[in-house]
Amino acid sequence: MRCRRCGARVRPPYRCPHCDAPTFPYAAFTIEPDPERPRYEVVFLSREREHRVERAPAGDPDGILLRNLAEELGELLNAARPERVIGADTPPWLVDRVERIAGVECELHRGGLESAVEQLRTELEARDRLPTVDSPPERKLGGSHSTIIGGRRGRELLLRVAALPYVKRVIPGRIGAKGSRGGGGVRLKVTRTDERGNLKLLLSEGAATQEIFLVTTARSAREGRLIARLVERVIREAAAPAASAAGR
């Protein structure tokens, strides 16, 4: 395998020994703390290929091997030095241990390793295909309708979506009402992608609804659907802390 930057030979998943460029810009891992068979699996990703590494030593009743596994994974990530790392379905204390050794911040992910890998594939495709907008989220939010339902929570959700670099404008639309009163607090969902790649969202709270229009950097419906997947991920991540707080 050759380095994409300088063309030197590299041994995956390690970064280039000549120019120090990462061979794989993204990685996702999981650590399973099973005392009978602790294991980790890590998937290194680029647009062209992926590389998987798995380690599963024999039983670990005292938890020593588990801590060693986390440190071994941290050393591997340090040698590969990907730009973005996700820890999927892994106890936070093990993710912290990996981070300390790797020197790379790891994002927590619920939904399994393959779900994290698919998320990173989507992000890689968007990064390679789509133009970006370098503008603060607050400057992207606005339109003729200044009211946003859901109060602070509604505005926070829209600002999270606006933070995506593929979103040019977030335009709140008219406020309407459902046929029956809804529940579950403030919600946001993607409802449509048009042929130019722009998106329509629906913000709701109780019986009130509001159309939200996203002007994106997409140039086609296909690219719009790619951005829609990223928007849906942002909405899921924003909903997770709210659900945890409601359960306490």
- At residue 247, the pLDDT reads 47
- At residue 36, the pLDDT reads 78
CA distance 161 to 225: 15
Report field, pTM of the whole predicted structure over 0.75: yes
- At residue 241, the pLDDT reads 57
Q: Which domains does the chain have, with CATH numbers?
A: 26-129 (3.30.420.10), 137-247 (no CATH)
Strand order in the sheet with 186-193: 167-177, 208-216, 199-205, 186-193
Spatial CA neighbour of 215 closest among 183, 185, 193: 193
- At residue 184, the pLDDT reads 66
Pairing of strands 84-88, 26-32: parallel
Q: Which two tokens stand for residue 25?
A: 């810009």
Chain position carrying tokens 């941290």: 74
- At residue 57, the pLDDT reads 81
- At residue 151, the pLDDT reads 94
- At residue 248, the pLDDT reads 41
For the chain, which ranges sit under pLDDT 50? 243-248
